[in-house]
Amino acid sequence: MFTVIRADQAQAEAKADARAQMADIFADGFTQWLGYFSKDRSIIAQAFAHMFVLDQFYLAMSDGQVAAMAACTDGKATSVRLDARLLRKHLGLLKGSLAAFFLKKEFEGLLDNPDGDACSIEFVGTALPFRGQGAASHLLGHIVRHTSYRTYLIEEVADTNTPAMKLYQKLGFQEYKRKALPEKLARKNGIHHLVSLKYVK
């Protein structure tokens, strides 16, 4: 049902703009964490569409539609690159500037991978109409099978994100690190720990 391609090769296969579809997936999956900047998923989609570094992303396609996406990056490049000017254009001067400053640190952290044998899986998301149909499982399974890394890392998954935690555990990822959030923040957003997982081939 799904075929997997790299996002920089998707244009020919995607019926609509692949980047725009990735932005929609990002907005549907991640607006809940970005509420300070905008609660409007279409504004989030427009503001962040520019950031995807396409050759770092894989897409699960179904009939020309992007069903799911995930980046796999080995530390030579970041999977996203934020442009402060575009963030300010869509989020306004203050929130755009804050997004550029704070999210840069969070989104553009480079994997420390001196041996080159690890890859960081990032920005995993499935389009709403395709959720629960195996798209993300298929995509991540493909990435693990068709790339030659030894270790696959997924950093800082919210412990409350049951679909993501179950997905990763089902694929054989195991927790290797757990970071407690400050009590005040945990009370506010319900997330107590950020869990890091890894899969070793």
Ligand X SMILES: CC(C)(COP(=O)(O)OP(=O)(O)OC[C@H]1O[C@@H](n2cnc3c(N)ncnc32)[C@H](O)[C@@H]1OP(=O)(O)O)[C@@H](O)C(=O)NCCC(=O)NCCS
Identify which of residues 67 and 88 has a Cβ nearer to ligand X in the complex: 67
How many whole angstroms separate alpha carbon 29 and alpha carbon 92? 22
The stretch near ligand X (CB under 6 A) out of 1-9, 77-85, 97-105, 135-143 is 135-143
Residues 11-30 that bind ligand X (CB under 6 A): 29
* 81-103 CB burial, b ≥16 within 10 A, e <16: ebeeebbbebbbeebbebbbeeb
Based on the shown chain and the rule CB under 6 A, indicate whether residue 131 belongs to the binding site for ligand X: yes
Quote the distance between the C-alpha of residue 149 and its chain's center: 19
* Contact yes or no for 88/43 (Cβ under 8 A): no
Binder among 22, 44, 47, 136 for ligand X (CB under 6 A): 136
Q: Which helix (H) or strand (E) holds 62?
A: strand 57-62
Based on the shown chain and the rule CB under 6 A, indicate whether residue 126 belongs to the binding site for ligand X: yes
Quote the distance between the C-alpha of residue 64 and its chain's center: 21
* Contact yes or no for 108/80 (Cβ under 8 A): yes
Least distance CB 65 / ligand X (angstroms):
13
Least distance CB 134 / ligand X (angstroms):
5
Least distance CB 85 / ligand X (angstroms):
27
Q: Could you give the string, one character per residue 137-176, with x where binding to ligand X holds by CB under 6 A and - elsewhere? A: x-------------------x---xxxx-xx--x------
Interhelix angle for 162-170 vs 135-146, to 10°?
A: 40
How many whole angstroms separate alpha carbon 96 and alpha carbon 40? 14
Binder among 115, 132, 148, 182 for ligand X (CB under 6 A): 132
> Which residues of this chain interact with ligand X, rule CB under 6 A?
29, 68, 124-126, 131-137, 157, 161-164, 166-167, 170
